[in-house]
Structure 1
Amino acid sequence: MSKRASLLSKVAVFRPSARTSVNNSDNAQAPPPAYDAFENDQAVADGRPPPEFAAAVEAETANLTAAFDSLKLTNGPSSTTVDSCLAHLKLLYAIQSMKEDVGYTDGLWGLWNTLAGPIDLSEKSPEEKMKDKQLETLSQIREKRWALFAARAVDRYEAWWQSFPGKQLTEKDTESVGSEAYIKFADRSVAELMEWTEDMLPPLDVLMVWHTHMLNPRSFLEDSMLAGLRSMWTTGMPWALVNAAINTDFAYNVADDAKAQWVAKTGLSWDNADDPLIKTLRCPRCNTSLQVPWTTCGMPEDYKGDDDLDLGGNGYGDGDLHYSCAGCSIILCKELLSVAKFVTDVRALIGPNNRPMPGTVLDPRTGMPEAPPPEDVRKKMVPRTFPNRLLKSGLNSIRTKMVELITSDSIPKPSMQDVRAEIEKIMDNRMLLSQLDGFTSVLPGTKYQPTPTARMCIRKMMSRYWGNSSIFALDLTGAVMRQGVFIEKMYKLDWLHSPSARDTMRRLITKYQRFIGIMKTFRSKVAVPTLDVDLAWHTHQLSPSAYYTFVVSETAQFINHDDKIPEDTLSVQFEWTSKVYQDLYGEVYSECTCWYCEAIRSSHISPVGKIFGMSAQEKVAESFHTTGAAALHPPSASAHISSHNSVRPSFSLDTAHPAATRRKRIQARIEAMHKKRLEDAYAKAQKRAAKKGRQLPPRGEFYDHWGYPYYFYGPYMYPMYFMPGAYYGYPGYVAGCAGAPGACANGTCGGGVAAGDCGGPGVSSLTFGGGCGNGECGAGADGGGCGGGGGCGGGCGGGGGCGGGGGGGGGCGGGS
């Protein structure tokens, strides 16, 4: 094994802190150890830890070993338990350790620390560090290493996924009553479990991507159905094997047989960094074999260029793929690959097996397989299959036009915008639409149009291709980056090393069960979890069939775990969730004393209730402090809002489209209103705290990312350190308005669903009070939002919204 590969597969027991004097700029900025037993660094002259440290580590290792060995785990589906939550934390620690090893490996893929310039290692305040351009560049280099590693991990996961045997789903399966490939796919009573053995375990980077995939429950179910991987979906994460493979240093170790089997099944190296630096692709147009570099950002270690360092790049794993085909001269780019994926899926649909298009497999409202009506006439009008019928119909020569996007030299730069344009032509023609649904004539003066659910399904189908050229329902590279935010927070909370870890797990499981109860009661709302609730929720989702059975029995739908929610929507809905939780259970929801959580609790207190004495909400908040519970939850070590899925609408990044400019103004007003509400609530909380002799922490906080501080106004915000243009799939945005790239076709809805945000009853609206216009999503919840649970625990509430040119709602209006 190479030295570099060894670095990526092992976790050091002792890592010097930022205060330790080390003659290496990267080590000097290294993160602190996972568990620091001493206040002061006491490294001896030769670099070894002091004897006291070694003894403490040895004792801690023995305790951890005993604790981990006693976990009661299986390799099959299970409910959320204390032991499965602890095993999950152990996996998250291993992933975070791997991430740090990758980011801090100098020279990986030609990304050298020296490219940042000389680093000032003197002690500085966060404000002073924020002015250090070299330090910021160094942090971006480390982030780029991890971004490339994640992109390669997703590519490796795809190879692993395709190595499992499975029979692809067909339209006939979806129309057959009792089909085990479809309607009974999720029935655990008739499903066969995968018999996991140690030699089947994949590398840790691939396990990480699988973990992320499963945390998008509806997407994972759809992908598993389309590929026919029923036993894999039913069984889920083999916790017993995974727990055994991770030692107390959180290094992932498997037997040589597992590594040999991986290489034999996939043709790839066990270590991510040992795979080739070239990605072999077939040109979508002429089928020429192309050797595309993974990145063009690498430089010699002694590079002395005068220009600013470009971490965007034109390689396959970079943010702006640009490669000219030697056979036909077409430019290979992400847009072309997305169109190629779409055309491939259309060919599979119209081919002999009639495989359904992605996005048309599950009922868009419940997220469950949908048995079609028995009558042949009504089968033709099932809303879920509307996109398939449209693409197969041949209306307006759509089949030919779709294939020509790839085959015709007259279309030099095909994009998903072209696909949308062709769909719009049919959606705008009421006569063609009536023929598609089997109506031979339409009464004079009437305007036939498909049902709102049918139009929603067009948007669901399109969502599988915007910014996504993989075989999966979503771009997993961006999803891995977003999930990394949660993983890092779990790592910093460090519950595994707490003597009360098991009690903590019990409490968070109780909170999770209550959280599901809130979703069951308030189905048209978006419920937002705290970090502790999210750990239990994630753990349950890693046993997909057990999670499916539980939430369907509780809520009559397959609750999704929304991968993208605009940051202000997330914060407003967190405020709502917190109030409802306190009303129902008489306890604070977010057991945290940061300024944001104090402000949220303050916002629940009604001034009317105070006229008659202390309100119920104020009693709950005050009890949190008077009982001493607040003292146990300092801001730096508390589980407040879980915001790993927080994103910014795309118009905040690209204002070229007129609708984006208009929507950006609306969004800015909404953000200002929300910020003012938080400021007012914080001011009230300060006054109440002062009367009780308490002092609240200041607003905002500095977040250290790869050694560089970033200022965050509040914990609900999307990660400011994300670098647009540097990722294979940018993790920090969602399409923001109709007509803009990534939004819906006119006649279907406004922006949201297509971008992976407003997936009907399964995700959140773009802004609080926004969502799809009434008559578009058709749910009618609160005046036109996407009703019905899912998303971050609820449907899209609110009136007004992004009207895309079809039905009510009007342009990009923002409800109140």
Structure 2
Amino acid sequence: MTSQNTFDKAAEAGDVILKYDPAHDDAPPPYRPPTSYSVGEHTLPNPLVSPEELRAHLCLLRAFRDLRTVVEGGQIGEWPAMVRAWTPEQRWAWFVGLAVERFQSWAETMTPYTSLDTWIDREMPPIDVLMVWHAYCLNPMWYAEDTTRLPILQPLRTLKDRLLALLVKSGDINGYEPSSDRKNSWHSKCGCPFEPIAAAAVMSSQAHDIVCPKCLAPYAVSLIDNAGTGYLQSKFASKCPSCSHIATKDGLAVLKFADDVTLDPSSASDRKKYGYGVYMAGTLRTVIDPTDEAVAARIKTRVHEVFTYDTTGRPTKDSWVKAIAQLSQYSMKGVQERALMVFARRMRKAKRVLGAYTDDRPFSVELVGAVIRQCSFIDKMTDFGWAKPGAFDGHEDEVVLQHAIARYHTFLDLMSSAPGSFFVPTLDIDLAWHTHQMKGELYQNDCMKLIHRFVDHDDRVEENHLATSFDVTCRAWQQRFQVPYTYCGCPLPGDTLGQKLTRLKHRLAHSGDAPHALQPPRRTDALSATHASEHSSVVLAQHTGAAEARRRQRAAKVQRRRARDERLVRGGKLDPAVAHGYDGHQAAFLYPVPFYAPPVGGCVAAGCGGFGPTADGGGFSGCAVVRRRMRGRCLRLRWYQ
């Protein structure tokens, strides 16, 4: 038996020690996927996503990773010298900015053919545009509202699940070669080559059209320049040739906001021209109604009352736009001060609406940041080997994807049980969730049918809140399904009982009482994929000091546990399969935010509230001993709080 002294040391470290006996290291039974899938009161004979769709998605992620590798390498002779001299991160941010330009051009000219084969042949976009479209779909609440509210994006709504369907139809996207007719059609519509690398060389000398926030005169600005003030650069600033006003991204965001303010839902001409676009971004779609015009109209009326100005008679649209921009001092901070009068105490709603106005592009999502936020997830899928060619071609390998799909449906069931949920997925669940979101409007319909509300995918969550939410998810999952949520072997971020039993979860997963479909296949990458899907992490400016202190504490705890586990493994006292952090992936919530990216965070399932801790804080105090007999062995654990 393990000595009492060893247990006490484990208690001090805030973890659990297991007695390891290799002679009883029984392998789990073969994995069997479920024959049906339960979500809430619904039983589905077929899953919402299939292994074939997950494989196609993983091929797409591999294509994204390969593209980023080429771009960050930067040795493209046709590219400008200053681009080649940039850091890899700067080059990637620039390239993604060009991709967003190309996505907008494609969305404005795309024809939504009915036949999938015809659409692939005539309209399938290049890989960089697919990358932007993919990131847009992974902000499903915004994607759903924008494709309803904005006339230029409504053709995307008619495509339903076209993004995922074309990936499955095309096979491995990495081998896709467009026809010469497709290349010529793209060039004639978008003014640049179909191939992204070649297009980047051409577009470097092209311009972006803007409108002066002060005098409303249109003019063109360069995308990049040596001073770092180009449209795609962080210090963008341009002098208006008509009035000499210095336009910035903030000023362009104010202009976009003012344009939306001055549209009138009661005006027949505005309704005919703009449709649902007469309402403000972030006000039309709710978690239960795709077009809640009553709410959107009330907010718009209040906005008109706050953003008005003294004039005789009915103001023209241009004069009103100019007045709003001037009143706000061409700054979104000025807009925010007045917008607080609109939303009163509803700060969450105010942040959502104002967050849709970051530049002059029509999208409510800052798509450059959205693409960059996915890089961490793509890297993890690549590092695990999931994105390698043929990784899941064999039946014995496909069970890993079937396990991910089963866990995803269980994740949806968990959300259906808690309407105010705020749950954090693991990497395998997130892969299936992302795949489902790529079905566009079909994902929206599935949410309403199965969970009776729209489930958003929020990847901009404050770091410490993310860690706490993952702790809550682990406890909720364990309580509802009587199986552990994660098997990856990494220390969990919190300090509750759920985290202190992490080491035991590998064993308890195979108990006879657990739903068999939730027991993972005993493959290292299957266990590792239950690591928290944190992507990157956001640190709020006002909480920088506290967040940094918490991060240092988590990092120190990780190092202590890994050092202790290494000693125990060498001494034969611990199963290497449950030791912390030996498969090379890092602990959750320790990834820094790239300097060029907007605030980013981990993935969460966002509902309309929070799923908080128990009345006593969700923890335990004092000391306790747990015994559980399993396969004739007694496991003894001790922990302190």
Answer whether TM exceeds 0.5 for this pair.
Answer: yes
Distance 1:700 1:565, change over 3 A: farther
Aligned to 1:292: 221
Q: Please state if 1:416 is matched with 2:386.
A: no
SS at match of 2:263: helix
Aligned to 2:56: 87
1:110 equivalent among 59, 80, 92: 80
Aligned to 2:44: none
1:370-410 CA-partner distances (Å, limit 9, x unpaired): 556xxxxxxxxx44433311233477528979956746997
2:299 equivalent among 387, 394, 403: 387
2:270 equivalent among 342, 346, 353: 353
Aligned to 2:29: none
Where do 1:419-458 residues align within 5 Å? Answer: 419-424=335-340, 426=341, 457-458=349-350
Residue 295 of structure 1: CA displacement? Answer: 2.0
Structure having the larger proportion of residues in helix: 2
Distance 1:573 1:156, change over 3 A: same
Cα separation, 2, equivalents of 1:331 and 1:207: 34
Aligned to 1:512: 408
Cα separation, 1, equivalents of 2:324 and 2:525: 62
Cα separation, 2, equivalents of 1:578 and 1:684: 24
Distance 1:193 1:526, change over 3 A: farther
Residue 416 of structure 1: CA displacement? Answer: 1.0
Q: Please state if 1:214 is matched with 2:141.
A: no
Distance 1:315 1:241, change over 3 A: same
Q: Which amino acid aligns with 2:378?
A: I
Distance 1:111 1:565, change over 3 A: farther
1:220-262 CA-partner distances (Å, limit 9, x unpaired): 01100013555632522344533454658x2442112222222
Cα separation, 1, equivalents of 2:154 and 2:308: 38
Q: Is the Cα–Cα contact under 8 Å of residues 212 and 483 in structure 1 kept in the other structure?
A: yes
1:626-681 CA-partner distances (Å, limit 9, x unpaired): 999897327996451111253222x1xxxxxxxx3xx4455456656766887898
Cα separation, 1, equivalents of 2:420 and 2:132: 31
Distance 1:257 1:470, change over 3 A: same
Aligned to 1:715: 588
Structure 1 unaligned segments of length 5 or more: list them: 1-77, 116-139, 167-191, 298-311, 373-381, 428-449, 607-614, 652-659, 704-711, 735-756, 758-762, 765-789, 800-816
Cα separation, 1, equivalents of 2:257 and 2:83: 40
Q: Which amino acid aligns with 1:236?
A: D
Distance 1:291 1:581, change over 3 A: same
Q: Is the Cα–Cα contact under 8 Å of residues 719 and 732 in structure 1 kept in the other structure?
A: no
SS at match of 2:166: helix
Q: Is the Cα–Cα contact under 8 Å of residues 246 and 253 in structure 1 kept in the other structure?
A: no
1:478 equivalent among 361, 369, 379: 369
Aligned to 1:237: 162
1:254 equivalent among 178, 181, 206: 178
Residue 89 of structure 1: CA displacement? Answer: 0.8
Q: Please state if 1:280 is matched with 2:208.
A: yes
Cα separation, 1, equivalents of 2:220 and 2:509: 61
Q: Normalising to structure 2: TM-score of the pair? A: 0.71
Where do 1:327-406 residues align within 5 Å? Answer: 327-349=242-264, 352-354=269-271, 355-363=278-286, 366=287, 368-370=289-291, 382-393=294-305, 397=309, 406=322
Residue 589 of structure 1: CA displacement? Answer: 2.6
2:352 equivalent among 460, 464, 467: 460
Q: Please state if 1:150 is matched with 2:120.
A: no
1:472-517 CA-partner distances (Å, limit 9, x unpaired): 1110100000012212221222224334442111110001001111
Aligned to 1:556: 452
SS at match of 2:52: helix
Cα separation, 2, equivalents of 1:231 and 1:326: 35
Q: Please state if 1:591 is matched with 2:465.
A: no
Aligned to 2:535: 644
Q: Is the Cα–Cα contact under 8 Å of residues 463 and 547 in structure 2 kept in the other structure?
A: no
Q: Which amino acid aligns with 1:477?
A: V
Q: Which moved more, 1:570-579 or 1:409-418?
A: 409-418
1:163 equivalent among 84, 109, 118: 109
Aligned to 1:469: 360
Cα separation, 2, equivalents of 1:294 and 1:715: 36
1:262-283 CA-partner distances (Å, limit 9, x unpaired): 2333334323314332323233
Where do 1:91-102 residues align within 5 Å? Answer: 91-102=60-71
Q: Is the Cα–Cα contact under 8 Å of residues 214 and 541 in structure 1 kept in the other structure?
A: yes
SS at match of 2:221: strand
Residue 340 of structure 1: CA displacement? Answer: 1.4
Residue 547 of structure 1: CA displacement? Answer: 1.6
Q: Normalising to structure 1: TM-score of the pair? A: 0.57
SS at match of 1:561: strand
Distance 1:422 1:409, change over 3 A: closer
Structure 2 unaligned segments of length 5 or more: list them: 1-46, 272-277, 513-518, 614-641
Distance 1:417 1:452, change over 3 A: closer
Residue 149 of structure 1: CA displacement? Answer: 0.7
Aligned to 1:547: 443
Residue 152 of structure 1: CA displacement? Answer: 0.8
Aligned to 2:523: 632
Cα separation, 1, equivalents of 2:425 and 2:126: 30
Q: Please state if 1:525 is matched with 2:494.
A: no
User: Identity of counterpart residues, as a percentage?
Assistant: 23
Q: Is the Cα–Cα contact under 8 Å of residues 90 and 243 in structure 1 kept in the other structure?
A: no
Distance 1:340 1:582, change over 3 A: same
Q: Is the Cα–Cα contact under 8 Å of residues 565 and 647 in structure 1 kept in the other structure?
A: yes
State how many pairs are aligned: 533
Q: Which amino acid aligns with 1:273?
A: A
Relative contact order, CA 8 A, sep 6+: which one is greater? 2
